[in-house]
Structure 1
Amino acid sequence: MTTSEDIVPSVTGDERIGRRGALRLAVLLVAQFTIALDFSILNVALPDIGRGLNLALGDLQWVVTLFALTSAGFTLLFGRVADLLGRRRMFLTGIVLLGVSSLLGGLANSVTVLLVARVLQGLATAIVAPVAMALLTTTFPEGPRRQKALGLGGAMLSAGFTIGAVLGGVLTGLLSWRWAFLINVPACVIVLVVAPILISGRERREPARLDAGGAVTITTGLLALVYGITSAGTNGWGHALTVVSLAVGVVLLVAFWLIELRVPQPLVSLRVLRTPTVKWGNGGGLLTFTMFSAVIFLMTLYLQRVLGYSPLVTGLAFGVQGVTAFFAGIFAPKIIGRFGNSRTTLFWALLLQAVATGALFALGDGRQWLTLMIVATAVGGFAHVLSVVSFMVTATSGLSDHEQGLATAMTSLTQQVGITMGIPILSAVATARINGMSPTHSQAQSVLGGTSYAIAVDAVIVLAGALLIGYFLRKAGRVVDPGATTGG
């Protein structure tokens, strides 16, 4: 838990962060931007990586899968370890690991070295993502300044994903796929030079033991669950490997829950997880990440296989969405203030995402429909990032500083699992429809039918989820309303 000297004093209704707070925030935002950039930039470079290292097309998935496994599987564990050992120490450790692993990946001369680098990058992300968020939420108390900081965080994440997609193509085309890794190194060096000056190491940490049983079951359970989800995207949901992995994951997560009920110092406080704002806030985050990542995937299929656009044009078509998403992060604090609290904002943002997604159901097979696609994804991108900021504010509200490590680890885990789940689930829905239409329709018509059907499913899920989450968050607000005084 940070000391009072490390926390910017709260002034009710004042959104000014202050000079030192702004510098500290900039360091944390650069770290988050680098992680988002790393995630998207490498996806664009995958084909060239396969050719450069003679990696078979079917094996390219491991470059993505190993990263997803380790980043999602270890997030909760490292969030708790940071609470025990110190967030500053863990943050710097994660940045060092990210820099070293990126250098290793950029210099890799074999598939084995590359995959080891991806595992280490996943571990670095599992450290940096929750710890950076915990440092942010403990630096800025609940209220306008935390909302502004989280809004800027959402904007930088969006910018990282968007710029990464563009930069990946530019670097790979002009230089080499290796720069998709190496570009992280100077960013990590800058953070390592500046962070020790701005982030104090004076923290009061309560003596505690690490819950070994909980650590093993939650980590292996999440690894099995995420592996099962990624396997479904490749092998199908009915494949034996998928079913076994998902079953093992569920069993281990149940075992973890039972262990946490009995140990004196649990890895994860079940009291925190039962808090309505934590529970339903993360539910909203999982919903928006899962469904919006699927929208981008489905619209990529639509643009290339129905309208016949090149990958370059496809990337540019999503540029408007990236811009609106960035501004959503900038304006999110004011929007939350207008609604009165982040819970209400989360409901309306999810509702807007459902409407924008539903509009895509009207798309046809002519290029005149490109305008509707750009407008709908732009509105959806705005709604998505507004949902992200609102869920982060909601899920970290009403908790003490020493519980922020767990709360922010949960938000990071929600993001990782959501991104991992969305594409396999909606891809399976679209593929089933495409296969059913293929015998009697052209390829373009079949793909359009599949993507339209999956879009409809996506919109209905977001709409139903928004209504459910909005109801329970409103119910929780009647019991205790942190938004009355903090904006949360």
Structure 2
Amino acid sequence: MSSQATAPTPTGSVPTHRAAPSSQNLSPIDKKDHRWVVLAVIGIAQIMVVLDATIVNIALPSAQQDLGFGNDQRQWVVTAYSLAFGSLLLLGGRLADLFGRKNTLVIGLVGFAVASMLGGLADSFGLLVAARALQGVFGALLAPAALSLLTTTFTDMKERARAFGIFGAIAGSGAAIGLLLGGVLTEYASWRWCLFVNLVIAAVALVGTFLFVPRPAKTARPRIDYLGVVLITLGLVGIVYGFSNAETNGWDDALTYVYLAAGVVLVAAFVFAETRVDHPLMPLRVVLDRDRGGALLAMGLVAIGMFGIFLFLTYYLEQTLGYSSLKTGLAFLPMPLSIMFSSTILGTRLLPRVGPKVLILIGGLTAAIGLALLTRTQLDSGYAPVVLPGLIVIGLGMGLVFSSAFSTATSGVARQDAGVASAMVNTMQQIGGSIGTALLSTVFADVVRDQLVGTDGGKLAQANAALTGYHTAFWISSGVLVLVALAGGLVINRQKVRLAKLESASSNVTGSIPVAAH
């Protein structure tokens, strides 16, 4: 970390005060400014979590055949992770603030690696599910710690835009890369390597963390809000499990509504409790800021839209066009490449100039157009003329959204709240993904069933019915991305970031991005 007392203060941003650690408390390598190396370490840690969302899905058929579990049990390999990860994120973010972000990152990396090893060695369905749940627990420590480290490391306006552009590219493209890596490992090695690969990634990230991530300056430790922990954990479990139950058993199952209702009531009770305690788990000031709230809303909606791309386009490529897992992963590659270009080149240059309001608006509309292009797919469509243009346009739009939303959702936050603010970003993505899974899967199943009414039920009829289901999912996802654009255009404030609000939050904030006045 730099030893300067203050970061450069561009016009319209908040002066960001950096504590200058005593030189005798730093190792020689800590005395140097390794911010960009720290970004690389954080990126490696983050990509391990993001990859896990899709790489295991590719391995599921092989794992099912090897361990001998049924189709009705298969969903638990995914649900066990999402339940633990989604429900514990806010606690993980606050623990990062409490025990130090570097310490929490190390614990998260070690725990995630151990859980991945257990999953790769699993000789039974029960052990695999337990390992996936354990991955979720440590992922809930790892993800907010990584993002909050990024938030507190980069405070200069231009550097922050570039750093979050790179981070957004990793977060946005990781799922597609997971499809590719999962296909390669499953086809040429074993499904177990889709879990073992995390040991390699975690080892690299751990070495980088010990060598380059500086020890943070000592700050006042927040107390744990135990009531808040119980309420929000159970509430998020109810919501995530409710949507998972809807995907498996349909919306006709009464338990779906019981879980969802209980989850909503508990979350509401959590919000009420946070206004009554002295040391809230999630200070409401973190989410009530208009700009930050708009960015968080955009992140949640993006997660819903992204589900339509990865799941149903994967089905289309493999089941309709007959692609192998490896070929499917390669087919997705143009999308992460265009996300990287848009996020790191376009987003980095435009964010400080026009602000997140414009970029999220344009990015959401662009990605929506890309998804609409995928509705041109037919039973015998060629990849280059039909699928490829849609993936490129989606990536260009997503890159703008990710780079802008990540940065805006974590800017101007008091340092003692950086962990929980980062956890909110991940929580919105997790809840959005759960909603997308249940909503689009249910709609797809209903459309296919309706399309098969009055047909002979043969292969051609099933293929046409599935194609109609894909198109419906793509149109819904496109509409959701239009809502992302509206979240940017209507919710995020059109004026410059209000300096008085940020200064009153804390004299030691994580930096802000000046938003161009209109």
Asked if these proteins are the same fold (TM beyond 0.5), I'd say yes
> How far did residue 91 of structure 1 move?
0.9
Match of 1:279 among 279, 290, 293: 293
The two structures, once aligned, show a CA RMSD in angstroms of: 2.5
What is the rounded CA distance, in whole Å, between the counterparts of 1:242 and 1:223 in structure 2? 12
Match of 2:420 among 399, 406, 420: 406
2:507 corresponds to which residue? none
Match of 2:274 among 252, 260, 270: 260
1:126-172 CA-partner distances (Å, limit 9, x unpaired): 11111100001100005111121111112223453333222222222
2:152 corresponds to which residue? 138
> How far did residue 388 of structure 1 move?
1.4
> Contact (CA 8 Å) 1:148, 1:332: kept in 2 or not?
no
Q: Once structures 1 and 2 are overlaid, which stretch shifts more, 414-423 or 296-305?
A: 296-305
- Is 1:457–2:476 an aligned residue pair? yes
What is the rounded CA distance, in whole Å, between the counterparts of 1:339 and 1:189 in structure 2? 38
Q: Once structures 1 and 2 are overlaid, which stretch shifts more, 51-60 or 359-368?
A: 359-368
Q: Once structures 1 and 2 are overlaid, which stretch shifts more, 394-403 or 405-414?
A: 394-403
- Is 1:23–2:23 an aligned residue pair? no
Q: Once structures 1 and 2 are overlaid, which stretch shifts more, 367-376 or 79-88?
A: 367-376
Letter in 2 for 1:460: G
Match of 1:85 among 71, 83, 99: 99
- Map 1:58-97 onto structure 2 (within 5 A): 58-97=72-111
1:185 corresponds to which residue? 199
> Contact (CA 8 Å) 2:335, 2:391: kept in 1 or not?
yes
> Contact (CA 8 Å) 2:354, 2:516: kept in 1 or not?
no
- Map 1:469-488 onto structure 2 (within 5 A): 469-475=488-494, 477=496, 483-484=513-514
Match of 2:55 among 33, 36, 41: 41
- Is 1:314–2:328 an aligned residue pair? yes
> How far did residue 430 of structure 1 move?
2.1
Q: Once structures 1 and 2 are overlaid, which stretch shifts more, 228-237 or 33-42?
A: 33-42
What is the rounded CA distance, in whole Å, between the counterparts of 1:479 and 1:90 in structure 2? 32
> What is the DSSP-based 3-state SS (H/G/I as helix, E as strand, rest coil) of the residue aligned with 1:367?
coil
> How far did residue 189 of structure 1 move?
2.2
Alignment CA distance shift 1:301-1:207 (3 Å): closer
2:345 corresponds to which residue? 331
Letter in 2 for 1:176: S
> What is the DSSP-based 3-state SS (H/G/I as helix, E as strand, rest coil) of the residue aligned with 1:443?
helix
TM-score where L is the length of structure 1: 0.91
Letter in 1 for 2:469: G
> How far did residue 73 of structure 1 move?
0.6
1:61-117 CA-partner distances (Å, limit 9, x unpaired): 111100001111100111011111211111111111011111211222222222221
Between the aligned residues of both structures, percent identity stands at: 33
What is the rounded CA distance, in whole Å, between the counterparts of 1:33 and 1:6 in structure 2? 31
Q: Once structures 1 and 2 are overlaid, which stretch shifts more, 398-407 or 94-103?
A: 398-407
Alignment CA distance shift 1:208-1:21 (3 Å): closer
- Map 1:39-438 onto structure 2 (within 5 A): 39-337=53-351, 339-368=353-382, 371-438=385-452
Alignment CA distance shift 1:170-1:310 (3 Å): closer
1:406-451 CA-partner distances (Å, limit 9, x unpaired): 2111111122222222132112222222211112452222122222
Letter in 2 for 1:278: R
TM-score where L is the length of structure 2: 0.86
Letter in 2 for 1:470: G
1:177-200 CA-partner distances (Å, limit 9, x unpaired): 221111111222232233123222
- Is 1:448–2:434 an aligned residue pair? no
Alignment CA distance shift 1:447-1:6 (3 Å): farther
2:458 corresponds to which residue? none
> Contact (CA 8 Å) 1:335, 1:345: kept in 2 or not?
no
Structure 2 residue runs of 5 or longer lacking an equivalent are 12-31, 456-460, 503-511
Structure 1 residue runs of 5 or longer lacking an equivalent are none
> How far did residue 19 of structure 1 move?
5.7
> What is the DSSP-based 3-state SS (H/G/I as helix, E as strand, rest coil) of the residue aligned with 1:457?
helix
Alignment CA distance shift 1:198-1:314 (3 Å): closer
Alignment CA distance shift 1:449-1:171 (3 Å): closer
> How far did residue 369 of structure 1 move?
7.0
Letter in 2 for 1:456: W
What is the rounded CA distance, in whole Å, between the counterparts of 1:450 and 1:336 in structure 2? 37
Alignment CA distance shift 1:324-1:4 (3 Å): closer
What is the rounded CA distance, in whole Å, between the counterparts of 2:216 and 2:352 in structure 1? 37
> What is the DSSP-based 3-state SS (H/G/I as helix, E as strand, rest coil) of the residue aligned with 1:262?
coil
What is the rounded CA distance, in whole Å, between the counterparts of 2:497 and 2:48 in structure 1? 39
1:341-380 CA-partner distances (Å, limit 9, x unpaired): 1222111111111222222333333324762222112211
What is the rounded CA distance, in whole Å, between the counterparts of 2:84 and 2:139 in structure 1? 9
What is the rounded CA distance, in whole Å, between the counterparts of 2:189 and 2:474 in structure 1? 37
> What is the DSSP-based 3-state SS (H/G/I as helix, E as strand, rest coil) of the residue aligned with 1:74?
helix
1:8-47 CA-partner distances (Å, limit 9, x unpaired): 944759xxxx961122111111111222223322111111
Alignment CA distance shift 1:362-1:162 (3 Å): closer
> How far did residue 461 of structure 1 move?
3.0
Alignment CA distance shift 1:306-1:105 (3 Å): closer
> Contact (CA 8 Å) 1:295, 1:357: kept in 2 or not?
yes
> What is the DSSP-based 3-state SS (H/G/I as helix, E as strand, rest coil) of the residue aligned with 2:312?
helix
> What is the DSSP-based 3-state SS (H/G/I as helix, E as strand, rest coil) of the residue aligned with 2:127?
helix
Letter in 2 for 1:52: D
What is the rounded CA distance, in whole Å, between the counterparts of 2:193 and 2:481 in structure 1? 37
> Contact (CA 8 Å) 1:324, 1:381: kept in 2 or not?
yes
What is the rounded CA distance, in whole Å, between the counterparts of 2:494 and 2:208 in structure 1? 44
1:232-280 CA-partner distances (Å, limit 9, x unpaired): 1111123122111111101110110111111111111012211112211
What is the rounded CA distance, in whole Å, between the counterparts of 1:353 and 1:484 in structure 2? 25
Alignment CA distance shift 1:312-1:226 (3 Å): same
